[in-house]
Amino acid sequence: MSNTYTHDIVATVGTYTDREGNEKKRYQKCGIAMTDEDGRLSLKLEAMPVTPDWSGWLNLYPKKDYDAPQRQNTPPMEPVRQQPAGATAGHDEIPF
């Protein structure tokens, strides 16, 4: 019998204010849920919230694909500069 990781187990553990002043929920991943060929769920809990803001509820969300490339608004990296011929790696040429 093979289980497939299908869901994240998540708790809402409070709120925070983002840079624009919007109030957002704060989440904590508590484990995973796996589904077998018959559609039965198995839960693997790895953490439990201890904050007083936790309501006691855990929620299942479809797993996130962390291997998918994430879009970022960062400029491209500067290319790596090659060392000049004859330079020894790791040694600076300081005249004193």
3-state secondary structure 29-49: EEEEEEECCCCCEEEEECCCC
Residue 49 lies inside a defined structural domain of this protein = yes
Residue 67 lies inside a defined structural domain of this protein = no
Domain that holds residue 24: 4-62
For 14, residues 6+ apart whose C-beta sits below 8 A from its C-beta are: 25, 26, 51, 53, 54
Alpha carbons 49 and 46: distance in angstroms, whole number: 10
Total of domains in the chain: 1
Output the pTM of the full model.
0.62
Residue 68 lies inside a defined structural domain of this protein = no
Q: What is the pLDDT along the chain (96 residues), one digit of tens a residue?
A: 688 999 999 999 999 999 999 999 999 999 999 999 999 999 999 999 988 888 999 999 999 876 655 555 555 556 556 556 655 555 667 665
Residue 93 lies inside a defined structural domain of this protein = no
Residue 26 lies inside a defined structural domain of this protein = yes
Alpha carbons 27 and 55: distance in angstroms, whole number: 12
Residue 55 lies inside a defined structural domain of this protein = yes
Residue 56 lies inside a defined structural domain of this protein = yes
